[in-house]
Structure 1
Amino acid sequence: MPSKLSHLHRYARVFCALLWAKLNLTYRLETFTETRETYLASELYNGGFVDSSAVAPPPAPWDIEVDPPPLFTDCEMHLPIPHSYSLETCPNCKGRGTIMCQSCEGTGKKKCSACGGTGTNTLEDFNICSWCAGSGKNRCFSCRSNGWLKCYRCNGNGVLLFHTELTITWKNNVLEHVVDKDPGLPYYLLQQAAGKEIVCDEHLSVFPIVEFPELSIEEYSRVCIEQHRMQFATGNLHHVLKQKQTIELVPLTKAEYEWNGKLHSFFIFGNENKVYTKDYPAKCCCSIL
């Protein structure tokens, strides 16, 4: 884990040598998309007006106007589509309003737990069980001996109010590439580090970067843009609202030091001067001021 590096113990013999200091390049492509999907939803019907297609044709998912969130911010919204309501038979009870009691399987009675359904008392031979009066069955308390229960889904009405629910999802899809990362520094740390932004290109759709000194940035820009173009091709499901590509300079320094006759190394990276070392020999708080 990255930490802050403090003064080493003043009694320890320390030798520190700077190996190299450089600026790492981080390329990032952000594609802000909007996705619309529909599914059938139901609710209890307690009477009243039904906004069905007889009132007006229901709008198509992409015809519904909503206010989007700030650009490049993940968000999700659920709303019913107007004029998509209809009264339908409850699929759970097939319109009866009741369902069979699973506890007694519709009989209204259950096996007597005192005699195990034999009707006799096992403590005395051929003695009639007093709990079930020798019948071997008792009243089912779940359904009150009725054998049926009120349907929980429609609350006994036998019908449900169905409508089409629209789910709108805004998502910021990100692809990143770090140039010249040192194998000793975990990749995710450089991704989290702050740097200085030197390129920012934001449009409805961006084009690959050209004539940049670092050729791998040009190549990765082309690959990322093509990947997102294929992934989010305009259609019935996805719409691309905005794209942004940036290049950041992230400072990175590697140093070696000697501790008790052994060589160790650490990294200082990012504008925050974060510090990372895999095998720091002492358990102390660390900081660079």
Structure 2
Amino acid sequence: MNSSAAYPPSAPPANMFGTVPGYEGTVVGGGGYLPPPVPLEPVAPPQPGPVPDDWNIPSLSEDVAHDAFKSFASSHCCYSKAPANDGVIINMEPFNTYRYRLETFTESRSTEWAHKPHEGEAADFYTQTAPRPWEVQATPPKLFTNHIEEIRVPYTSSIKECHTCHASGLMLCEECKGGTECKVCWACNGSGGRGEETCTHCNGTGRERCKECEGQDRKECMTCKGKRQLLIYIQLKVEWTNHVVDHVVQQNSGLSNDKLRSVTGKELFKNSQYLLYPLIGFPNPAISEASERLLKEHQATYVQTSRVLQQRHTVELIPVTKVNYKWKGDTHIYYVYGNENQVNADNYPATCCCVVM
């Protein structure tokens, strides 16, 4: 059991507080994140590369737009398929738009006093100098992947009596409160017998045997698991986090940017470095401005409390097509967007109320 168990973490012996170099601020229940080593400077900014001749996405055909609309209608139980099947496309307008995505992959570390049942481990407190928080070896996951690892810091362990059961290994049963609050026997309704016969279910006691402690009034201590002693140590929590932020260049299709975050586009540019410089020489100035702003925000937010392991930024061109169609004499619209040909039709003209039983 560690400090996240039902019972609060046991404090280390008083003479251990503040005596482990590098861990003076460590407390029961954990503290804040530890400042990382001094970060390095970004790599030299790249020179502008050649601009591809064609950064456009081929126009969507009417057949593809029609098929996407029919699939969309079929996926909604409350939508009639008639508008998708019988609607006639009047025109289609492309609104392809750029999306800039920045990812900052960081490692952060925090410490707390923790405990577990003592199972014969040797206490190693001060047998050697404990490695400082950022000196403890931890293997990071694949880049840009979230992961958490908890590590027992070497040379910080000691042994003490369990604070929950006072080294007895047992605790009062919470269900029957030591035998005074057992349930009334359901077979005899607490009378202890049926007429002149003794109740066989409760052996005439009128009370049911507690299932939690098997009628023993006490059960194994949840904190020490009956071991009576705890191993107290400093626990290092290492968190790898991929912080992702998107910027979609203003586009006038009417489709919300939230919709665009769920799809992919045509990748135009990707670069990954320890620390990135803003994009330079990009044809659309809004992308360069977003790159500079977001990189500054990430540096200000994460560098002080985390160690930046890698950054990556990507530019995609997302296909967006606004489709105008006619059904039953009225004009309606829907959008087809992303490489996945997702459809958005907020005002679908033929819906019904479904009741799911």
Fold in common (TM above 0.5): yes
Q: Name the aligned partner's letter for residue 275 of structure 1.
A: V
CA displacement at 1:148 relative to structure 2: 6.4
**3-state DSSP class of the match of 1:229?**
helix
Q: Is the 8 A contact 1:15 1:259 kept in 2?
A: no
- 1:88-127 residue pairs with structure 2 within 5 A? 88-99=160-171
Equivalence for 2:313: 245
Equivalence for 2:69: 5
Q: Show CA shifts across 1:261-283 (max 9, x none).
A: 11101222223333322223357
Q: Name the aligned partner's letter for residue 71 of structure 1.
A: L
Equivalence for 2:96: 23
**3-state DSSP class of the match of 2:291?**
helix
Q: Name the aligned partner's letter for residue 273 of structure 2.
A: H
Equivalence for 1:128: none
Q: Name the aligned partner's letter for residue 14 of structure 1.
A: V
Q: Is the 8 A contact 1:51 1:82 kept in 2?
A: no
Equivalence for 1:172: 242
Q: Match for 1:279 among 334, 340, 347?
A: 347
Q: Match for 2:151 among 51, 62, 79?
A: 79
Greater strand percent: which structure? 1
Q: Show CA shifts across 1:109-148 (max 9, x none).
A: 569979xxxxxxxxxxxxxxxx89xxxxxx9998899976
Task: Quote the Cα distance in structure 1 between the aligned partners of 2:131 and 2:323.
Answer: 63
- Are 2:140 and 1:68 aligned? yes
Q: Name the aligned partner's letter for residue 263 of structure 1.
A: T
**3-state DSSP class of the match of 1:217?**
helix
Q: Which runs of 5+ in 2 are unaligned?
A: 1-64, 72-81, 186-203, 352-357
Q: Is the 8 A contact 2:160 2:229 kept in 1?
A: yes
Task: Quote the Cα distance in structure 1 between the aligned partners of 2:263 and 2:210.
Answer: 66
CA displacement at 1:36 relative to structure 2: 1.7
**3-state DSSP class of the match of 2:96?**
strand
CA displacement at 1:170 relative to structure 2: 1.2
Q: Is the 8 A contact 2:95 2:322 kept in 1?
A: no
Equivalence for 1:216: 286
Equivalence for 2:230: 160
CA displacement at 1:160 relative to structure 2: 0.9
Higher relative contact order (CA 8 A, sep 6+): 1
Equivalence for 2:335: 267
Counterparts in 2 of 1:149 and 1:174: CA distance versus 1, 3 Å: closer
Task: Quote the Cα distance in structure 1 between the aligned partners of 2:213 and 2:94.
Answer: 78
